[in-house]
Structure 1
Amino acid sequence: MPGTTRAGSYRDVLLLPHALRTFVPALFGRLSYGLLPLSALFTIQQSTNSFATAGAAVAAFGLASLSMPLKARLVDRFSQRRVLPVLALLCALGLGLVASARTTNAALLVTLVGVTGVFAPPLGPSMRATWRLITEGTELKQRAYALDAICEESLYLGGPLIAGLLISFWSAPAALSCAAVLMVVGTLGMVATPVARHVAEQQTKGRFLDPGPLANSGLRRILLLIFFVAGGVSVAYVCVAGMAQREGQAGTAGFVEAAIGLGSVIGGLIWARRTHRRSHWTHLSGLIALLASAFLMASLAGNLIVLGVVMAVGGLAVAPLFVVSYLAADDLTPPHQRTEASTWINTINNLGSSAGSSMAGLAIDRTTPAHGFLAAALLLACVVLVVMRPRGGRWWRWLGGLSGLGRRGGRRR
């Protein structure tokens, strides 16, 4: 059997019943997350005159992402229509309070932002759940996931730009308020379609506090893999900033990071042109190897232009990595747990990124960005070896036994 065949077009995906009516509002809602970091950072910095407080507040919002799987379980159990609007309205209310706050109390603002993050609606996982529903009975799910990942990458490229323009020509609180409005309007539009009513008929059975999809060993291995990959990518991002700072061109770090995002969008477009037939773990090992190679070359880059080109090549693997991970999670979990499983991928990615950033920041103070890139490359190379050795010794099997990922029609719990 050949490794790939032609997939359906994006037009085929968007012409599916209710696809456009759901996806377009969902993109507006998810754009709010692209505006949030910068607008929240400057809103709180201007209020307290402290970047330390502003950074702590943004970190608190990110830490609240640990609640995402629980919210996804609520969506699985009670439907998107009943859960997402409530979460969006509460989160928007919190953002509005932050935008209008006149206090300089750092602890109060950090707490308010953290609590607001607890109510952030899981729009990405919910949209992927909708894609699963509307592509059922077709061969378009992989193409739909790729379209979703590409658009998400584009939102995170454009979101900071829009936030920057709003801050420059209006104000940071106004940008934060726009993020709140986008979240509510997008969420309400997303759940207004008949698809949301259909999802509402699917109820999760069993104890609410059971481990859910985490009981699946294959999914746990995927999450462990994502954690280390996210950590390595985050180290690379910090090293980009470190290299730009050392060359006295700190502002160019944004252009290099944009190159990574552009590479990710292009990679997603290329990946989606085919329907891939090889096992998920084969795809994962190849994509991670591409990232590792790019980071190795980055450690040898002599200037920021070469670094940008190398990182753009590495970015080709980012969107496909998430597409493959989401597809693997779908194959490993029963239908009523797939929204939560998808959310765990995002949550673990955030945790891995946080861990990588903290370690890289400490390391760069004591060494050079080149050493950081090299460390990230070695970490991902080790991950590739683990993924490619599913039948090795006991600890290899425990850490990297991804052979179950290749059984697309295998047993489900």
Structure 2
Amino acid sequence: MAARPTVDNPVVPARVGYVSLLRTPGAWTFVLPAFVARLPYAMLSLGIVLLVFDTRGSYGTAGSVAAVAAVAQALVGPQTGRLADRFGQTAVLLPSVLVHAVSVGALIALALGHAPVWTLFATAAPAGASVPQIGAMVRARWVARLADRPRHLSTAFAFESVTDEFTFVVGPVLATAIATTVAPAAGLAAEAALTVLGGLAFAAQRGTAPARHPRAAGGNRVSALASPGVRLLAGSFLGVGTVFGAMQVSVTAFAEAQGQAGMSGTVYGVFAGGSMLAGVLYGMVAWRRSARERMLASYALLVLGCSTLWAMPDLTALAVAALCCGLAIAPTLITGYTLVETLVADGAKTEAFTWLTGAIGLGLAVGSTVAGQLIDLGGPRTGFLVPVAGAGLGLVALVTLRGLLVGSPARGRTVARSGADRRGALEPRCSPATLD
């Protein structure tokens, strides 16, 4: 009898292609609006930094305001995911996009009116808290759509991570281009408009939404954080977030110091482009190593890449170093999302995904704040010390507690909705994708 695949003892599965994945009935109806709706995620923090620096002249203040938005998103996002699991995605998305548009509009007005700094913090908080958790929601839709084809799930996660990285290529370039050619406020205004349009279009696709999991009367609430493995992955994604946050502020400051402020979005886009390229290639490999081993290897490469950023002499060299650093991002994220899906039950999947996304946002807040303060004190190069420190701590946690990343057989059956017809529910989710 063939051995059952597990996260730590993978059986190399048949290849599952991106084209085959996108032939899933209804896939395009939520993939396209999801792309539009999550594009602003890569624009919000950088848009806040550009606007607040233009009106206040301090990277420390700009980074702190962006950090408030990111912290609010990190703290509220998982609660939004929990509500989506319980009441449905549309019921959560509609009020979220409305609050987000109003909050961003207020932030723009206050910044341009040179209102007290505390008012910027007060409006940045609801702006961040109301960011629609599209990335987590679309992954939850893939889980629901592929319940009878678990081998396709890792392909879906690879596709979504590549899409995430593509938005991080386009988003910063778009925000910078609009802010520098039109007005600093225009970048944030575009972010709000895209959030509303994409969010409403995504919410309208009710037919592909996962089933609601209302709490039974007198029953215990399913919590994603009850899994130690989820907590560990969230901590490691916090380290990835510090890389994102510190890079945004540090690259902006470095480009300004070099007299090429308009190139900051391009350099950050190269960083995200490296991650996108790695995500595509990652999905083309028939991995024989377990997901846990791949997670440790990609995270170690991330730390190595971050360690070179501070020494770059000019923007060209920085772009090359950022490209190399970015190559480790997507493999880390893809593997993390693959692992976390095996650790939680159906009623907590959206929440689990939002904890990871929220951890990235919290790390982004920490990274942008610390980097901004270091830049104000010691110049733009000092900001690049933050990514290597944050990622290094994440690697230490992963190596030390790696045993927590193994789901129990019982949990695997719960995730797969049980049944002998769902053979290979765990590691086939780690199956590679191909460009067939």
Q: If the length of structure 1 is used for normalisation, what is the TM-score?
A: 0.81
Which residue of structure 2 aligns with residue 179 of structure 1? 191
Which residue of structure 1 aligns with residue 34 of structure 2? 26
Identical positions, percent: 27
Report the aligned-residue RMSD.
3.7
Quick one: distance in 2 between partners of 1:247 and 1:167?
19
Q: Report SS of the residue matched to 1:140.
A: helix
Report 1:12-411 matches (<5 A): 12-41=20-49, 55-65=63-73, 66-99=75-108, 103-106=113-116, 107-138=118-149, 139-168=151-180, 170-196=182-208, 199-205=210-216, 212-231=223-242, 253-274=264-285, 276=287, 278-298=289-309, 304-361=315-372, 377=388, 380=391, 384=395, 387-388=398-399, 396=400, 399-402=401-404, 404=406, 410=412
1:235–1:376 Cα contact (<8 Å) kept: yes
Sort the Cα spacing of 1:216 and 1:402 in 2 relative to 1 into closer, same or farther, 3 A. Answer: closer
Sort the Cα spacing of 1:169 and 1:77 in 2 relative to 1 into closer, same or farther, 3 A. Answer: same
**5+ long unaligned stretches in structure 2:** 1-8, 416-436
Count of aligned positions: 402
Sort the Cα spacing of 1:208 and 1:36 in 2 relative to 1 into closer, same or farther, 3 A. Answer: farther
Quick one: distance in 2 between partners of 1:386 and 1:146?
24
Once the two structures are overlaid, the 10-residue window that deviates more, 1-10 or 175-184, is 1-10
Sort the Cα spacing of 1:212 and 1:360 in 2 relative to 1 into closer, same or farther, 3 A. Answer: same
2:371–2:386 Cα contact (<8 Å) kept: no
Quick one: distance in 1 between partners of 2:141 and 2:293?
27
Q: If the length of structure 2 is used for normalisation, what is the TM-score?
A: 0.77
- Structure 2 letter corresponding to 1:145: F
Q: Report SS of the residue matched to 1:130.
A: helix
Deviation at 1:39, TM superposition (A): 4.2
Sort the Cα spacing of 1:331 and 1:50 in 2 relative to 1 into closer, same or farther, 3 A. Answer: same
Deviation at 1:169, TM superposition (A): 5.2
- Structure 1 letter corresponding to 2:406: G
Deviation at 1:132, TM superposition (A): 1.2
Sort the Cα spacing of 1:232 and 1:53 in 2 relative to 1 into closer, same or farther, 3 A. Answer: closer
Sort the Cα spacing of 1:316 and 1:374 in 2 relative to 1 into closer, same or farther, 3 A. Answer: same
Post-superposition CA distance 1:31-82 (Å, at most 9, x none): 2233333444555667x65657655443322221111111111101100121
2:239–2:391 Cα contact (<8 Å) kept: yes
Deviation at 1:281, TM superposition (A): 1.5
Structure with larger RCO (C-alpha < 8 A, sep 6+): 2
Q: Report SS of the residue matched to 1:121.
A: coil
Quick one: distance in 2 between partners of 1:93 and 1:221?
35
Quick one: distance in 2 between partners of 1:302 and 1:10?
40
- Structure 2 letter corresponding to 1:34: A
Q: Report SS of the residue matched to 1:83.
A: helix
Once the two structures are overlaid, the 10-residue window that deviates more, 306-315 or 258-267, is 306-315
Once the two structures are overlaid, the 10-residue window that deviates more, 356-365 or 155-164, is 356-365
Quick one: distance in 2 between partners of 1:168 and 1:234?
20
Deviation at 1:213, TM superposition (A): 1.0
Quick one: distance in 2 between partners of 1:246 and 1:50?
14
- Structure 2 letter corresponding to 1:81: T
Sort the Cα spacing of 1:77 and 1:236 in 2 relative to 1 into closer, same or farther, 3 A. Answer: same
Q: Report SS of the residue matched to 1:401.
A: helix
Post-superposition CA distance 1:151-175 (Å, at most 9, x none): 2212122123323443455444454
Q: Report SS of the residue matched to 1:353.
A: helix
2:279–2:330 Cα contact (<8 Å) kept: yes
Sort the Cα spacing of 1:49 and 1:79 in 2 relative to 1 into closer, same or farther, 3 A. Answer: same
Quick one: distance in 1 between partners of 2:17 and 2:324?
24
Sort the Cα spacing of 1:113 and 1:299 in 2 relative to 1 into closer, same or farther, 3 A. Answer: closer
Sort the Cα spacing of 1:175 and 1:206 in 2 relative to 1 into closer, same or farther, 3 A. Answer: farther
1:6–1:274 Cα contact (<8 Å) kept: no
Quick one: distance in 1 between partners of 2:289 and 2:172?
37
Sort the Cα spacing of 1:208 and 1:302 in 2 relative to 1 into closer, same or farther, 3 A. Answer: farther
Deviation at 1:210, TM superposition (A): 6.0
**5+ long unaligned stretches in structure 1:** 389-395
Q: Report SS of the residue matched to 2:353.
A: helix
Quick one: distance in 2 between partners of 1:3 and 1:250?
49
Quick one: distance in 2 between partners of 1:375 and 1:104?
30
Once the two structures are overlaid, the 10-residue window that deviates more, 117-126 or 247-256, is 247-256
